[in-house]
Amino acid sequence: MDAFFWKSKSGKPSISNAEAFQSSDPTLDHAAVRVILREEQIGDMPPLEALRRPVRIRLDRWRDKREAWQKAVDSELPAAITDAGSDPFQALTAAKAVAVSCARRILGESGGKIRSPIPHHSGEYIRLQSRLRLLRVVRRELYTRQSLGATPASKDMRKAYDAGLCPQPASVAALSDAWAP
């Protein structure tokens, strides 16, 4: 990077303590820049572990792999319990460790990677966005029909009418000539 530009939302200078330094990584051939931003909206970076997805055992193919898991647990469990001795709590802990390790080996794991910075929106948000897009399309079509005269209602106009988004009392026939006096 040769240069970068920053525009503050507040209009006040917000960059302080800008410094360039050489990277300690020998594979990098460039200098790095460290900048402190004095903005209220910008906070500290979260720790790296907070950005990772938790590691979980895959259970999507459990029905197919359950018997293989059961055989592996049956073969490893007696040795683990005899190593635990006569304490039932140690035997329970060993049995749990065997079950989990066999599940990790046979079923596999998911997660452990950094989460996507793009949020996955909720269903309500997606429905609201689609309704707003529909209204924008209908509004644009109504304005383009102003000079065309009476034309049949489009598919999007009928969809908006069916969703109850048209002012009442209205009919589908009124949509074909919306600009009539």
E-assigned strand segments in the chain: 15-22, 31-37, 56-57, 109-110
**Torsion angles phi and psi, residue 2, rounded to 5:** -90, -35
Alpha-carbon torsion 25, 26, 30, 31, what sign?
positive
Reported as a single tens digit per residue, the pLDDT across 134-166 is: 999 988 888 888 877 778 888 888 888 888 877
159 burial type by CB count under 10 A (0-12 exposed, 13-18 middle, 19+ buried): middle
> Residue 33's beta-bridge partner residues?
20
Residue 6 is predicted with a pLDDT of: 63
pLDDT score of 13 more than 80: no
Residue 27 is predicted with a pLDDT of: 73
Structure token pair of residue 102: 């066999």
pTM of the model: 0.44
pLDDT score of 43 more than 80: no
Domain boundaries of the chain, sorted by first residue: 1-43, 56-110, 144-181
Reported as a single tens digit per residue, the pLDDT across 107-123 is: 999 988 887 766 677 77
pLDDT score of 2 more than 60: no
Helix/strand/coil for 107: helix
More confident residue, 106 or 28: 106
Residue 148 is predicted with a pLDDT of: 77
Residue 67 is predicted with a pLDDT of: 95
Reported as a single tens digit per residue, the pLDDT across 77-99 is: 999 888 878 888 998 999 999 99
Terminal Cα-to-Cα distance of the chain (whole angstroms): 61
More confident residue, 177 or 86: 86
Residue 9 is predicted with a pLDDT of: 67
Helix/strand/coil for 18: strand
